Chains A and B, each alone.
Chain A
Amino acid sequence: MILKENNGQISIEFIFIISFIILLSFVTINLVSNENELNIAMSAARSGINEGILIDSIAIYPKSTFDDYLKNKEFLIHPNYIKFEKIIIRNSEFDSKYNKTRIQLQVYVSSTTVTEKNDQNALGDRINYNLRKSITTSFNTSHLSNALYNPAYSKNYIFTTTNVVWN
C-alpha cells in the first residue's frame, strides 16, 4: 500500500538546494573571510586616520600632551588645517616567524599651515598611532600589542606604519 502523507515533508529539490548552498558556503567562506579581514582593517585604518587628523586639527589634547606642547611645540596648540589624501600599502611580505603577512601602511596628508618638519612628525605620529589603535580595537588584539599598538595585529596580518607624507 502506498502511504499518502502530504504534510510535514520536504521536497527533494529543497534538500538539493540547501545542500548546494551549504557546499558553496564552505568553499567560499575561506576566501571571503580573508578578503573581509582586509576590508575591515582598511576601513578601521581610515576611521583611525580621521580620528587622528581631527585631534590634530582641533587641537584639544590630553592635559599632559598639551603642557608638553606648550613648552616645546607651541605651534601645535592652535588649530590647523589638515586634509587626508590617501593611504597606500607600502610593503607586504610573509613573516614566517609570526606566520602572518606583514603589511606596511603609509598615509598621505596635505596641509597649508603645518610646514615645520618637527610639527609634521608630531602630528603624523598621532595619525599613525590612531590608525594602529583603530585596527587593534577592531580585531580585539590589544593584548598582543604594546602600549603604542605597534604593530597592530589581525588574524592573518601584521600592520605597521611608516612616516606620514606631508604635501
Chain B
Amino acid sequence: MDNKGIFSLDFLLTIMFILIISITIVSLGENNLKIASNMEFSVENRLLIDSVSNSINQVSSQGSGFSKIIKLPPNIQQKSYLITVYKNNITIESDNKKGTSSIFPIQLVDNNDLNIYEKKLYNGETYIIQNLENNKINIREY
C-alpha cells in the first residue's frame, strides 16, 4: 500500500475541468479586456483635457490677478501627450489620438505680454496659468 506521492483521480479531473473552463473564459474575455484598456486610454485623455480647460476657465472668469498652478501627469498609460491651448479651445494629442475641449474665449500672451496664437503644454511639467488683465492669459512653466 503506497499512500504517499499519489494523485487521486478526482483531483486530476478537477484540475482538468478548471483548466478547460479558465481557458474558455480567458479567450472570451481577452477581446473585452483589449477594448477596456483602449477605452481607458481615451477616457483618461478626455478627463485630463477637461480638467485643464476647467482650470483655464476658472482663471479667466475670476478676473485679473488670479492664478492657478496645474501639474500635468507624466504620461497617460505610458504614452506621452501634448496639450495645445488656443484662443477658444484646447486640444490633446497622444498616440495618434486627438480630442478637443472648449474654453471661454481668451487672449493668450507670452512672458513679454505679446499676443501669441497658441501655447503648447508638455507632459510631466508644472504650469502656472495667470490672468493678467481683461482675459489676457499667460501660461508659463512654474
Contacts and interface: CB of A to CB of B under 8 A. Distances in A.
A and B found bound together: yes
A134 B39 CA distance: 14
Given A47-B31, A47-B32, A78-B100, A60 B38 contact: no
Nearest to B91: A66
Interface residues of B, number: 19
A62 B31 contact: no
A167 to B, nearest CB: 24
* Count class of interface residues, chain A: 20 to 34
B97 interface: yes
Nearest to A44: B31
A54 B31 contact: no
A58 interface: yes
Nearest to B42: A60
Given A47-B32, A138-B31, A63 B97 contact: yes
Interface of B: 28, 31-32, 35, 38-39, 42-43, 45-46, 92-93, 96-102
Interface of A: 40, 44, 47-48, 50-51, 54-55, 58-63, 66-67, 70, 77-79, 134, 137-138
